[in-house]
Amino acid sequence: MASRSGTRQRLVNLLSRDASAAGSHARPGALRPTAHRCDLHLDQINKLSRVSSNAIRFPPPQATESLGDFRHGFPPPKQKKQSMKAASIHELKKSLANLDRDELLDACVRLAKYKVDNKELLTYLLMHADDELGYADAVCDEIDQQLPAAHTIHKKTMRKIVRWMDKYIRYSGNKETELRIRIHFCRQFVERKIRFRSCRVSANMYATQLKKIDKAMEKLHPDLQFDFRYQMQGLDAHLG
């Protein structure tokens, strides 16, 4: 504030000196500087001082650190916003490739602790992926235990078994394993003489399994298709 007031005072003195010099060397009859004109000069000085004080205003030190190279003529770098959208499989594979053994082990253990499905999938990959036939037999044994001993089944019980079966089929991803499990599931309804009676929901779930069997069979070799179609004999008639 002191330096600004001093500059303003020096400008006023210079204008007053020029005005007095112009008045002393003026021709006869020329207009001398009046008080009104001096006030105009003072108003201009006030405006210039305000503009200059606003223009020459430096940011605080903490603000200049975030400017980056903007002081040198380059804009500051844009910070990448974090997105909550899940990364793609390619991005995850690329990130996992950069992890060492301990970091990869910690990531797998954390995934297994986070959700039961992750733990079950990891169990298949580590302990059953090399033996698809044994994995299919284990799933079929569990289905036998979940099916009721009576000749009827409630739609909620059947839906629960189907969801559990579909989940373990997805863990494998093998079409032969899928066919073994689904055919065994439908075969149990025939052998145990489980009837749907008037429950169309249960009958539709059974018919859906037959459709999924036909769809999975189309992706197999013709020789394997012949073997599985032989195992399917009598399954369609159970809906009648």
pLDDT digits over 175-233, tens only? 999 999 999 999 999 999 988 888 899 999 999 999 999 999 998 888 888 999 999 88
Q: Domain coordinates of the chain in residue numbers?
A: 131-239
pLDDT category, 30, cuts 50, 70, 90?
A: very low
Q: How far is CA 215 from the centre of its chain?
A: 33
CB 162 within 8 A of CB 212: no
Q: What pLDDT, on the 0 to 100 scale, is given for residue 158?
A: 94
In which residue are the tokens 């489980």 written?
194
Cross-strand pairs, 195: 152
Say how many C-beta atoms besides its own lie within 10 A of residue 164's C-beta: 14
**DSSP tag of 239:** G
Supply the pTM of this predicted model: 0.64
Q: What pLDDT, on the 0 to 100 scale, is given for residue 35?
A: 47
Percent of residues, the chain, with pLDDT higher than 70: 66
Closest CA to 227 of 172, 180, 168: 180
152 φ/ψ angles, rounded to the nearest 5 degrees: -130, 160
- The dihedral through the CA atoms of 151, 157, 159, 160 has a sign that is negative
Angle between helices 175-191 and 222-231 (to 10 degrees): 20
pLDDT digits over 86-126, tens only? 889 999 999 999 999 999 999 999 999 999 999 999 999 99
- CA dist., res. 151 & res. 162, Å (int): 18
Q: What pLDDT, on the 0 to 100 scale, is given for residue 31?
A: 45
Distances (CA, A) of 139 to 159, 164, 187, 211: 16, 10, 14, 20
Cite the DSSP H helix spans in 85-199: 89-97, 101-114, 116-123, 132-146, 155-172, 175-191
Q: What pLDDT, on the 0 to 100 scale, is given for residue 137?
A: 95
